[in-house]
Chains A and B, each alone.
Chain A
Amino acid sequence: MKPRKLIVNLCCAITYAFLIPSVFAQSDAQFAKANQEYADRNFKEAIDGYDQLVRSGQWSANLFYDLGNAYFRAGDFGHAILNYERALALDRHHPEADANLRIVRDEARALELTPTLAERYLKFANVNQFTIASAIALWVATFCIVALIFARRRSGAVIALSIVSLSIFAVAVFAIYQLDNGSNGRALAIVTGMNVQARVATADNANSVLALPPGSEIRVLSNRGDWIYAALPNNLRGWVPAKSAEAVRL
């Protein structure tokens, strides 16, 4: 590396190191301000404050949870459920978000997607945990196979370990695919609009498939212009206006 380039990189690293704490300090102040607005029952201002933090990318489960609470207080159940879902997407064991989500769903009568059988059995871990498990299993299997290739005598234990590791890898990859593409996966979106109807075609006067109360879950299958083709609760499918739903995962 040339000395000049090295100096530039070093300067950047130092600037970044100094900048990060200042950015965090700023966002902490903004978060505290939004919390105060919420405590003062200025829910619209609280929503604006939390939204600014969301837009700046300072995402955390607690931020989305608080934003969900503010939307609930403002009477917007669709956005409240969306933000609780986001909090749970970041931290699936977030107890407050889980509790409030149940309350709001009950209030809003929001419809939920039915998880598949595989999803129900695989929900003991999340995609990241399965990713780590699959990586470890793959490397263990690879090491075992290399050892078997070079060994003068094949060890039964090593063969068994490689088979078990490959099986774990296969199950983990299957689980990642199922969870990522399932009812709670990447394509999960929440209906945030009022009086939303899923329709059989991309037209406002097309026949209705299902009425979707705010906060209802849908799974986006494809996009066409201003419409989303989505899997709906009760194993239905239909077209939903794109502006009426927001993806959970940003």
Chain B
Amino acid sequence: MNGTRRGRTAWRALLVGTLGFFVVVCAFADSPSVTAVLSKSEAAVGETVQLQIRVTGGRSADAPEKIAVDGLQIYRTGTSQHFEMNNFNVTSSVIYDYAILPMKAGTFKIPPQTIRLGSNALHTPALTLNVTDSPGRSSSSRSNREAQPENANQLVFAELVVPKKVAFVGEMVPAEIRLGFDPHARPELIDGPEIAGQGFTAQKLQQSQHNLETINGKSYDVVTFKTAIAATRTGKFEIGPVKAKARVSVPRRQATPRSRSRSPFDLFNLDDPFSDPFFADPLGRLAERREVEMESEPATFEVKPLPPNAPPNFSGGVGTFAMTTEAKPKRVQVGDPITVTSTVSGRGNFDRVNAPALEDDHGWHKYPSSSKFKQDDEVGISGAKTFETVISPNEKKQALPPLVFSYFDPVKENYVTLRSDAMPITVEGGAGPAPAVIASQPGPAATVAASAKPSPKPQDILYQLTERPKVAQSFTPLYARPLFWTAQFVPLLALLGLIGWKATQARRENREAQRIAALRHEAAELMQKLRRNDSSPQEYFSQASRAVRVKTALARNIDPNAVDAETAATAFDLDENERTQLRRLFERSDELRYSGAHNGAETISPESRREVLDLLENLRT
């Protein structure tokens, strides 16, 4: 019963602990943000496109079930939740999946969607989807596939899909490479794919899908690679072809029955079916492995130049971007560093996105920025690039000037400059950058008084020092030097001396206490014996005189053997009568001890015994 209760308590503690952990971890999570990504920016009518809205940093978001765009049917198809834990920093995100079915051709703009997250309202970026009448694959590549000869190349095909045919210089255009294989050919990709051509850069290829598709009534294993292409020059040029090399199993050319070798058992040349090579090598003779080159048709691409009159801080970013900025700390001294974190997020050529610049950098010293990019898609077109720039104020300031970032928007076909708000900060001028300087001649150190108020920038350093100490100095801390530990022997020896002295003193005190205890014990025993009526007169008086000696020794702290009647009487300050009794007691004891036991009465009278006992009990200090 107790065990069950204990077990239940343990489970409760575990549950509470786990909940507590998640509460703490969630408390430390980042502030919520939202991104929206389309699986492709171009599609054909009737072709489904996926829209993914990811809400990071919140779990109870309220996303729309349906998004109304004329010409598109957009429905929510699912919700999933993700937790990521990195160095105890937990990021939770909710992903809302939507299916988009284009109903007609044209360019559709999916407006920003409001995602409610508690009391906060987040907005997704606007997305653009181009819908064409026919599927976006290049007809040339399809015709190429259809025209492929009835040989090994029938088993494979390569296709380059560039949905956008016109773009600006530097604009990132998503592209797809589709490699199809006959599933029966046991395909094995051994080289590539790679896109040939000049005048553009391509992102690293990412394999995104592996589907079984039926094309012209024939099944193919289709592997899709995604990339993004950015043109580096203007004009019309071709991209591709895509080249790849694969190894496939090709059926052996069927030999004529006549050419088949005759079996030794086919004596009468009756075309014995067991003469078929299949029976000699059932796995190897039916098919052979062969390397095939795969090559797609190139795609044509027209590249327009960027318009003139670019803003001064335009660094070549082409796309659609948003910017957020933050500065820490908010209160500094002149010359102290402030870290400005600016995040440029959106879709475009992030490799050309540079750090936002200060609109007015007068009175600020700027250090080179560092950056990191977190991509939201497979090819790095969509994501957020975070810049950290350290700046330091050279003078008193009340606000950080706005940060500006310029890019070219290929949809609007014009330059856009994002400008952050001026961030209020407090720069105090207490820490002067340098003390009062100068003196090119050697002089006393007293001239180097530090100035309390900010002074103009110093021109020169102080003079050389020509004196050196006689003993070399050391960086080794004192506790790591042998001399320090050797010096500890002095107090250690003193401590040991103290301990020895105290221990001896205690032992001595202990011995004296033991002697006193023994005397007390002896006195008590003697008094007990004297009260008993069983001892001879010799023993009785001997014990009585011993009891007097012991009590006197205890009272005066002297040796009991050195006590006589006079000493005892003085020690206890007895009157004359008692002194006489005491003297008589000692005389009687000596008499009995030295003159023999039988000289006198054999017994002691009770009066005499009473008298002796009274005398002894009165011996008190």
Contacts and interface: CB of A to CB of B under 8 A. Distances in A.
A180 B477 contact: yes
Interface of A: 24, 27-28, 31-32, 35, 38-39, 57-63, 65-66, 69, 72, 86, 89-91, 95-96, 98-100, 102-106, 109, 111, 127-128, 131-132, 135, 139, 142-143, 146-147, 149-150, 176, 180, 186, 197, 200, 207-211, 213, 233-234, 236, 249-250
A111 B458 contact: no
B467 A99 contact: no
Contact of A102 (B369, B388, B435): B435
A104 B461 contact: yes
B470 interface: yes
19 contacts: A39-B464, A90-B475, A96-B448, A96-B463, A98-B450, A99-B461, A102-B434, A103-B458, A103-B461, A104-B461, A109-B392, A132-B478, A135-B488, A176-B477, A180-B477, A197-B370, A200-B372, A208-B371, A210-B370
Nearest to A128: B478
Nearest to B473: A90
Interface stretch (B31-39, B98-106, B264-272, B497-505): B497-505
Interface of B: 335, 337, 339, 365, 367-372, 388, 390, 392, 433-435, 437, 445, 448, 450, 457-458, 460-470, 472-475, 477-479, 484, 488, 491, 494-495, 498-499, 502-503, 505-506
Nearest to A32: B466
Nearest to B476: A249
Contacts of B468: 27-28, 31, 58, 60, 62-63
A247 B308 CA distance: 52
A35 B467 CA distance: 10
Nearest to B433: A106
Contacts of B464: 35, 38-39, 66, 69
A213 B367 contact: yes
Interface of B is mostly: loop
A236 B369 CA distance: 13
A146 B478 contact: no
A131 B484 contact: yes
Contact of A146 (B369, B488, B498): B498
B362 to A, nearest CB: 16
| The 5 A-B residue pairs with the shortest CB-CB distance in the complex, in nearest-first order | A211-B368, A150-B502, A128-B478, A249-B475, A208-B370
Contacts of B491: 139, 142-143
Given A102-B435, A211-B368, A146 B502 contact: yes
A138 B337 CA distance: 42
B462 A210 contact: no
Given A150-B506, A180-B477, A234-B339, A106 B472 contact: no
Contacts of A213: 367
A104 B372 CA distance: 31
A88 B475 CA distance: 10
A28 B371 CA distance: 51
Given A59-B474, A211-B367, A234 B390 contact: yes
Contacts of A210: 370, 388, 390
A236 B467 CA distance: 40
A64 to B, nearest CB: 9
A58 B465 contact: no
A209 B390 CA distance: 11
Given A139-B495, A142-B495, A210-B370, A60 B469 contact: yes
Contacts of A234: 337, 339, 390
Nearest to B367: A211
Given A31-B466, A109-B392, 10 more contacts: A38-B464, A89-B475, A90-B474, A90-B475, A96-B445, A99-B450, A139-B491, A146-B495, A150-B499, A150-B503
A154 to B, nearest CB: 14
A106 B499 contact: no
B370 A103 contact: no
A28 B468 CA distance: 8
A33 B475 CA distance: 25
Contacts of B494: 143
Contacts of A100: 461-462
